[in-house]
Amino acid sequence: MATSIRNSLSLEDSIRAYIELTKPYIVILLVFTCVTSMIVGANGLPSVDIIFFTIIGGILSSGGSSAINQYIDREMDAKMMRTARRPIPSGRIEPINALIFGLSMVAWSVLVLGIFVNWLAAGLAFLGSIYYVVLYTLILKRNTVVNIVIGGGAGAIPVLVGWAAATGTLDPQAFILFAIVFYWTPPHSWALAIMVNKDYAAANVPMMPVARGEKVTRYQILFYSIQLVVITLIPALMLLLPNAPVMLEGIYLLSAILLGGGLIWLSVKLIRVADKAMARTVYKYSSIYLAMLFLAMIVDRLVLQVVRVLTS
């Protein structure tokens, strides 16, 4: 059956299936956080060639890791309604082809970043792939309720890649951006887990709602949201410390307060309105939250750069 489906696909359908294998929406978000980190680290726009090759390397790394993840999770995905239509379980891509495709993309990402950017960025991108594929997918996801908590580091590594690409090093400020994405991951992922709780239960994946129940999960979402908002204020609060490096300023601070207030408010509402519709609202807002927060970082840095040019 799977063979007949693959044979009936047009070239356009096959290309679309391989693109789907990379989880393009996740790739876009990860690359966006990576580029934002570059701008914050460089206190403005890095050179065009560095931005270009970092984006290409980031797409290859995150897309390849997602393809390998889907190869490993193919049997699990087939058991869940949300993922049963993915390219491998739906029979559109042969598993071994997906694996080769993913490994090739990761390998090319290391070469592109190493040759055209720097080897620190390349090494970090490769570390991110190993973290996601081995630590999260193979070890944590199937065996522990803290899979998302620890596994969140995989999605946070692109900001380190971006910082290293722009500066050639890793300053302490880079790890503040890492912590933001790290603490954002649990409330975002657990809101989704509440929505598809039955899927994870059917596949025996010990996500928080399956292992601890939805009530505990909703309180955990609030707990991590509060921690996240506190961490997002650190870059602006550094301005109050003598001799501390300037990282982000007023535009970002105002955005972090407003966006963070919305996240906490919705997390509290999720406890009071304990249904899947509210979980979906939290999930969608958390996606917008991270994108808007990092966009505020870009605006903050670029506006400051323009002001400096105009006043110099």
Predicted pLDDT of residue 65: 97
Alpha carbon separation from 260 to 230, 252, 290, 292 (Å, rounded): 9, 12, 10, 11
Amino acid at 43: N
**Whole-structure pTM value:** 0.93
Percent of the chain at pLDDT > 90 equals 77
pLDDT for 118: 97
Residues of the chain under the 50 pLDDT cut:
1
pLDDT value at residue 310: 67
Q: What is the reported pLDDT for 284?
A: 96
Euclidean distance between CA atoms 159 and 144, whole angstroms: 26
What pLDDT is recorded for position 6?
Answer: 57
pLDDT of 159: 97
Architecture of domain 172-312: Up-down Bundle (1.20)
pLDDT at site 241 = 78
So what CATH class is 12-170? mainly alpha
Distance CA 248, CA 142 (A): 38
Given this model, what pLDDT does residue 245 score? 79
Predicted confidence at residue 32, as pLDDT, reads 97
CA distances 113 to 32, 173, 214, 241, 243, Å, are 16, 22, 42, 35, 33
Domain boundaries, the chain: 12-170, 172-312
Provide the pLDDT for residue 2. 52
Which of 130, 135, 148, 158 shows the shortest CA–CA distance to 57?
158
Say if CB 41 and CB 166 are below 8 A apart: yes
Counting every residue written for the chain, the total comes to 312
Coil vs helix vs strand at 285: helix
